[in-house]
Amino acid sequence: MKRFLFLALTLVLTLALVSCGNKEEKQKEFTLGVVDGTTYTSDFAGIGINLGLGWNFYTKDQIKQMNNFIGKSDEEISTALESASVVVDMLAYDVSSNNVSVIFEKSDTADLKKLSLDDIMDNSYEGFLESISSANPTVVEKNTEVIKLCDRDMGCLKVTVSIPNEQVGVVTMYTTLLVFKCENYLVSIGINTYGNDGSADVISNIFSK
């Protein structure tokens, strides 16, 4: 249940990041990432994440289903990617329902350049609060900073919330969103853990591709 809650939150967060048109300049062709064993890599974004044992990745077909690509040939998927505004590229979870996702949001290049990482993180935080409002959360802590990772600047939004739960009393949710610009896309790496903040372990295993 927690896993699916997080997936919904991640999508809402991503959709709240940028509100722009889809005008395009000539850009590098967008391609989907690849999962090999416990490692995800994206040639387009130039990043990889090695999650290690204990993590389960959504299969290629499950990712296709989330992006409405089921039944499409490789050529049809390539065409669909050209017009897709949001692409879920990777989803993974472990036995504790901790989650990691990678999502690309297409935007007008000029509009994207105007947005600072601080602007994007502010928009993300507002979207996050709205998305979980029905769960009656209490925000315990919120931090934003710009970090250097994979030889680029990334916005890092960290939010800790307490959510009432009928079965266990209170669930503490730690959400981290890393955001950076790539061509005419905004890339977001979402990390969600419960009980304790496990984002540092995931971030330490993000590498340049």
Extents of the domains making up the chain? 2-208
What pLDDT, in 10s, does the model give residues 35-66? 999 999 999 999 999 999 999 999 999 999 99
Cα 136 from Cα 33, distance rounded (Å): 36
Rounded to the nearest 10°, the torsion over CA 82, 85, 90, 92 is -160
Q: 110: Cβ–Cβ under 8 A, 6 or more apart, which residues?
A: 23, 25
What pLDDT, in 10s, does the model give residues 120-174? 999 889 888 888 888 898 999 999 999 999 999 999 999 999 999 888 889 899 9
Q: What is the pTM of this model?
A: 0.88
**CATH fold of 2-208:** Protein Transport Mog1p; Chain A (3.40.1000)
* pLDDT value, residue 2: 52
